[in-house]
Structure 1
C-alpha cells in the first residue's frame, strides 16, 4: 500500500483545492470580502484539514503555512486560494 501524497506547499495545496471546486464555488469565493473568508472554516476549511493531511502527517504543509496549528493553516490556504481566484477572475469594467 502506498502512502497518500499530500501537497507540501501552500501553492500546491491551492492547486489541489481549485481542482476540486466547481466553477460556481470558485466564483462565489472570489467574490467574497476577505473578512468573510472565516465563514469557510467549517466547510471548506474542514475539507482542507481532513484531505490535505493537516491533522496527521503533513508537517511540510504546516511549515509552509507558518504554523503548527491545522485550523490556522487551513485559513492560510483559504486566503491564498481567495487571492489566486481573484487574480484569475476577469476584471469587469
Structure 2
C-alpha cells in the first residue's frame, strides 16, 4: 500500500498552529500578527474557513475539535468555535512578528 503524501490532520491546537506556521509565508504571518486581537473575528470566513475544511473540524470524531474544547474547559466545540480557538492561538504565536514590524 502506498503511503499518503498528504500530512495527517493535526490532533491538538499546538499541532494546528505548527501546521499554519509551515503553510504561511512571512508576509501572511505578519498580516495576521498585526491584526488587533479584537478584530480576529474578521478572519472567521477566510482563515477560519480554511482551518475548518483543511483540519477536519466538521468530522464528528475530530480530536482537534475536542482539544479546542478543552482549551475552553469544555468537552467539545462546534467547528466554528473550534476554528476561532485555533485562530487566536495562531495569532498569539505570531506576536513576535508584531514586534519586528514596529
What TM-score, normalized to structure 2?
0.79
Over aligned residues, Cα RMSD in angstroms? 2.2
Question: Which 4+ stretches in 1 moved above 2 angstroms?
Answer: 1-4, 88-93
Stretches of structure 2 that go unaligned for 5 or more consecutive residues are 70-75
Q: Structure 2 matches for 1:1-93, cutoff 5 A?
A: 5-56=8-59, 59-66=62-69, 67-86=76-95, 88-89=96-97, 91=99
* 5+ long unaligned stretches in structure 1: none
Contact 1:49 1:70 in 2 (8 A): yes
Paired with 2:44 and 2:98, the residues of 1 have a C-alpha distance of 26
8 A contact 1:8–1:58 mirrored in 2: no
Task: Using structure 1 for the length normalisation, give the TM-score.
Answer: 0.86
